[in-house]
């Protein structure tokens, strides 16, 4: 059982850390224990799904993945319902497979492609069950049109019923990884044949993808049409193009009662595209950002000077009424829990300390520069202050390192810095990416990387470097969506900012518990979704209480 600390935040028993060099294997093993299906591995390596919520047996080890990757042994997974946990597990197997082949850079595009094909196979099976239940002929044009009008809503409202029917009818999905010479083959099979009409729709989407030169263009065009459902295949083809491959690497056909969708990735033809026009425009925009105002630069010099007095720093701050107000607001916030209000700037500087003032300058200076240049700041800061508050209390409750608190707080405030630049150049792009990723249950950074060329975390880190932010802060911004890639010395601050931001995203229904990085949960001793929900509820209440108190 977890306990509540004096701040009201759930504390849990700490688990050993899993560092990036151990991933993906140890994380894979952890997620497998959370799966609600039973998996059995044989040779050639095959995984079958049994029962409803069984247990794991005969755990696959890294040696088996090595053998499959280096000896052209098919690595096969069979499932009847493809629960979300199994999608995550397959994603980790793919990562392990690519790591063995030295192709880690292909993980994100191939992860999207694999998920798209597997989910499409699952939908095809569900469609067969639905048409059988309704007594409709899938191959009759008129009856197909009637069935498809209600298919999506009816199955969404009662998906567990239809998945159970698929299982009873033996409708499966097989995912097969296999090296074939200098290429990797990813095959998805389901045991209902694709109809001629369905195949023509896929070919139509492939043809439409040729008209787009970028993912950004596809989002703008397809999402504004009634054929939004066809976007998945379009994205798949454009992602393949991004890594140097043509649509010929993708195929779909019928074979002995099965639909077979295949991706063939010849490694010799892989080349990641160089900076495209959109990426170049972002880099150029960063270059045009002005440096911090002179008064902030002067203050930074004073703080860095060991001979400076507190009164010198306070005097420089008092020249700027806005900065003075911000500092007093910070000192009188719940962060310091003072018995009485402080209105004296010298006393405020003493309480915050030089490091606290230094961090205040980073957030204050950023708001001054970005606020004057961009109008999109308000909604960003509302999220950022909540994230900073959550990160501060997570660090205080779990890490118990006083020296971490200031860095974590300012990291939370500035973590989404890069979104402002992207949104200013392409106002609707991030909203479109967020919508697609939410619908498909994939991380937004995946499509950001392949649409923009840089994700907003990388853009934010570039800005932070331009303004000479300390390495800890640059790292917190850069890795707030990819905490497992953070350098060892920065994991505490990155993990706190990541978890705080993720809890905010859960509140905004952008991600689910299954998408939270398992090693981070383990680092905070969080085992279950219920534990994370309790932490979120406590943080949200603390934040709302503080907001009411200091409004």
Give me the DSSP letters along 285-336: HHHHSPPPPHHHHHHHHHHH-TT--HHHHHHHHHT-HHHHHHHHHHHTSTTT
Q: Beta-carbon neighbour count of residue 468 at 10 Å?
A: 12
Give the whole-angstrom CA distance, residue 18 versus residue 424: 38
Provide the pLDDT for residue 146.
92
**Is residue 520 scored above 80 in pLDDT?**
yes
For 123, 138, 191, 442, the CA distances from 257, given in Å and listed in that order, are 17, 15, 6, 31
Q: Is 385 left (phi over 0), alpha (psi -120 to 50) or beta?
A: alpha
Determine the pLDDT at residue 376.
55
Is the Cβ–Cβ distance between 501 and 507 less than 8 Å? no
- Fill in the DSSP letter of residue 396: I
Q: Which residue has the tokens 């048409």?
A: 131
Domains of the chain by residue range:
35-266, 280-550
pLDDT at 332: 74
Tell me the pLDDT tens digit for each residue of 15-45. 333 333 344 444 444 444 444 333 334 345 5
What is the rounded CA–CA span in Å between residue 436 and residue 447?
9
- Are the beta carbons of 33 and 15 closer than 8 angstroms? no
Q: Is 188 helix (H, G, I), strand (E, B) or coil?
A: strand
Tokens 């026009």 map to which residue? 277
* Amino acid 21: pLDDT: 38
State in words which class domain 280-550 has: mainly alpha
- pLDDT in the model for residue 369: 77
Banded model confidence at residue 429, pLDDT cuts 50, 70, 90: low
Q: Which of 472, 478, 487 is nearest to 454 (CA)?
A: 478
Mean pLDDT of all residues in 60-85: 81
Identify which has the larger pLDDT, 110 or 328.
Answer: 110
Q: Check if the beta carbon of residue 316 is closer than 8 Å to that of residue 295.
A: yes
Asked whether the beta carbons of 394 and 446 are under 8 A apart, the reply is: no
SS3 label, residue 14: coil
Q: pLDDT tens for residues 213-240? A: 666 667 666 544 333 446 778 888 877 8
Q: Do strands 10-11 and 38-42 pair parallel, antiparallel, or not at all (unpaired)?
A: unpaired
Task: Indicate whether 262 pLDDT > 90.
Answer: yes
pTM, full prediction: 0.59
> For residue 362, what is the enclosing H or E element?
helix 345-373
| 508/26 Cα distance (integer angstroms) | 30
Return d(Cα 476, Cα 482) in angstroms, integer.
10
CA distances from 249 to 233, 272, 321 (A): 13, 16, 62
**CA-wise closest residue to 163 among 87, 260, 48, 82:** 82
């Amino acid at each position: 059982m977890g306990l509540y600390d004096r701040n009201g935040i759930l504390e849990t028993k700490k688990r050993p850390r899993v560092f990036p060099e151990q991933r993906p294997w140890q994380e894979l093993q952890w997620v497998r224990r959370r799966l609600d299906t039973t998996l059995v591995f044989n040779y050639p390596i095959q995984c079958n799904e049994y029962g409803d919520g069984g247990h794991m047996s005969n755990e696959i080890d890294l040696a088996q993945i090595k053998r499959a990757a280096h000896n052209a042994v098919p690595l096969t997974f069979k499932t009847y319902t493809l629960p979300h946990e199994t999608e995550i597990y397959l994603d980790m197997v793919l990562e392990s497979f690519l790591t063995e082949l030295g192709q880690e850079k292909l993980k994100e595009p191939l992860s999207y492609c694999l998920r798209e094909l597997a989910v499409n196979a699952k939908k095809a099976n569900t469609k067969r069950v639905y048409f059988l239940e309704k007594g409709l002929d899938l191959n009759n044009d008129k009856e197909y049109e009637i069935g498809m009008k209600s298919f999506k809503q009816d199955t969404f409202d009662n998906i567990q019923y239809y998945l159970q029917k698929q299982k009873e009818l033996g409708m499966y999905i097989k995912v097969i990884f296999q090296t074939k010479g200098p290429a990797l083959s990813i095959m998805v099979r389901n045991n209902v044949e694709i109809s001629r009409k369905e195949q023509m729709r896929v070919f139509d989407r492939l043809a439409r993808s040729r008209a787009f030169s970028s993912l950004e263009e596809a989002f703008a065009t397809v999402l504004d049409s009634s054929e939004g459902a066809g976007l998945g295949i379009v994205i798949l083809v454009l992602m393949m193009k991004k890594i140097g491959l043509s649509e010929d690497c993708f195929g779909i056909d019928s074979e002995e009662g099965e639909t077979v969708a295949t991706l063939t990735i010849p490694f010799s033809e892989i080349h990641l595209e160089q900076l495209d026009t959109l990426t170049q425009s972002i880099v150029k925009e960063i270059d045009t950002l002005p440096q911090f105002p002179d008064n902030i630069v002067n203050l930074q010099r004073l703080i860095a000077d060991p001979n400076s007095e507190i009164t010198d720093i306070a005097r420089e701050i008092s020249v700027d009424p806005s900065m003075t107000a911000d500092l007093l607001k910070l000192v009188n916030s719940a962060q310091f829990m003072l018995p009485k209000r402080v209105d004296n700037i010298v006393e405020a500087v003493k309480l915050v300390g030089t490091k606290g003032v230094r961090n205040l300058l980073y957030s204050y200076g950023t708001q001054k520069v970005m606020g004057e240049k961009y109008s999109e700041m308000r909604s960003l800061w509302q999220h950022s202050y909540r994230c900073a508050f959550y990160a501060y209390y997570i660090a205080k409750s779990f890490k118990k390192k006083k020296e971490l608190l200031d860095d974590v707080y300012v990291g939370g405030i500035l973590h989404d810095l890069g979104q402002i630049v992207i949104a200013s150049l392409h106002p609707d792009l991030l909203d479109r990416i967020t919508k697609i990723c939410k619908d498909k249950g994939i991380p937004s950074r995946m499509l950001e990387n392949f649409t923009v060329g840089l994700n907003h975390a990388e853009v934010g880190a570039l800005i932070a470097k331009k303004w000479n932010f300390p390495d800890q802060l640059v790292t917190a911004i850069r890795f707030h969506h990819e905490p497992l890639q953070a350098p060892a010395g920065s994991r505490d601050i990155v993990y706190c900012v990541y978890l705080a931001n993720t809890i905010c995203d859960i509140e905004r229904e952008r991600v689910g518990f299954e998408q939270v990085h398992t090693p981070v949960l383990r680092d905070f001793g969080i085992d279950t979704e219920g534990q994370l929900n309790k932490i979120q509820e406590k943080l949200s209440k603390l934040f709302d209480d503080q907001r009411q108190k200091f409004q």
